[in-house]
Structure 1
């Protein structure tokens, strides 16, 4: 699918994974979801800023970090992606990896949305720094900064780019996606009052 001149973010892919109709409402109808009104979203944004300031000169020696960049904005003209990473870590093995702070509790699993977000960050890192990026790190702030390491393989990257293509199909063709109704998700959805379920 021709992506045109529009760019999407890893956050768009997170929204797509939650429900593909988010993309339709946000990008086709241009209806904002007003998530800034949600307490945990705002608290998480505040914590991101605080962590970036506090950890400006801190290198994570235990994971083989030799250098890092903080608060990094990257774009890919090839894939029509843009993203802002909390940190890009340059590792002893010559690769680089994203590190993301989540204002969340570690609940013994990495959510699919977080995996694909980090995967797209790896793709952005590879294109912008011309280095391999095959792992990612997530810090769960509300669990005493629990650190999780993710392995990011080529199959995962292909799946992520397939989702990017599906998102551009919705946007460019104005498609209203069919979805499986999940009442738990629908009850908490910012579009619940306008979505035809």
Structure 2
């Protein structure tokens, strides 16, 4: 009686293992699908995420620029697309958010050695705003970075808002002469 059981036991164990893997793949797939829906992430392979797990900082030595996009998605054509998730609402993307996304496009180009055709901003209403990373936006970004570096060197930073919470979370708050306390 032990002989037939010994020959069936390995097959049963393999079946149990296969069913476990199948279940885990379904749960993982469902989890990834719900993350996409929750954050409005477009179709493609998520190759970088800073929201659901810590990610490395992208750095550009030539621009002295660093940043961490929320997601980088590889689309069906193999292109890398930065996706920035915003908690607020906006009918049209804010200029600062567009420049932030453009900076991520530049960082991806330098770190992954690939052209980035566009990026996506997703506000809390899950509407995706596709922002073309064209020469006009690239030159606007480079001009803005130059102005920011100049302001930092000359210590002539100007506060551009009247919100205490922004000052509290600003990385320059300790050295800012016009911060709101």
- Sort the TM-score into its range (normalised by shorter chain): 0.5 to 0.7
Match of 1:164 among 132, 138, 145: 145
> How many pairs are equivalent?
133
Give the equivalent residue in structure 1 for 2:123.
140
The list of structure 1 runs, each at least 4 consecutive aligned residues, that deviate by more than 6 angstroms after superposition, is none
SS of equivalent to 2:178: coil
Q: Which runs of 5+ in 1 are unaligned?
A: 1-53
Instruction: Tell me if the contact between 2:58 and 2:67 (Cα under 8 Å) persists in the aligned partners.
Output: yes
Give the equivalent residue in structure 1 for 2:48.
69
Instruction: Please report the TM-score for the alignment, with normalisation by the length of structure 1.
Output: 0.56
CA distance in 1, matches of 2:86, 2:42: 18
Higher relative contact order, structure no. (Cα contacts within 8 Å, ≥ 6 residues apart) = 1
Higher strand proportion: 1
Offset, 1:87? 0.6
Cα distance change on mapping 1:173 and 1:194 into 2, 3 Å: closer
**Within-5 A mapping of 1:27-46:** none
Instruction: Tell me if the contact between 2:105 and 2:118 (Cα under 8 Å) persists in the aligned partners.
Output: yes
SS of equivalent to 1:148: strand
Give the equivalent residue in structure 2 for 1:98.
82
Task: Output one character per residue of 1:83-128: Cα deviation in whole Å (capped at 9) or x when no partner.
Answer: 01111111222321111111112x3211111110000000000000
Instruction: Tell me if the contact between 1:56 and 1:70 (Cα under 8 Å) persists in the aligned partners.
Output: no
1:173 is aligned to 2:164: no
1:80 is aligned to 2:61: no
Cα distance change on mapping 1:95 and 1:111 into 2, 3 Å: same
CA distance in 1, matches of 2:95, 2:111: 24
Task: Name which one, 1 or 2, has greater alpha-carbon Rg.
Answer: 2
Match of 2:73 among 89, 94, 105: 89
CA distance in 1, matches of 2:92, 2:149: 29
SS of equivalent to 1:85: coil
Give the equivalent residue in structure 2 for 1:150.
131
Give the equivalent residue in structure 2 for 1:36.
none
Cα distance change on mapping 1:154 and 1:55 into 2, 3 Å: farther
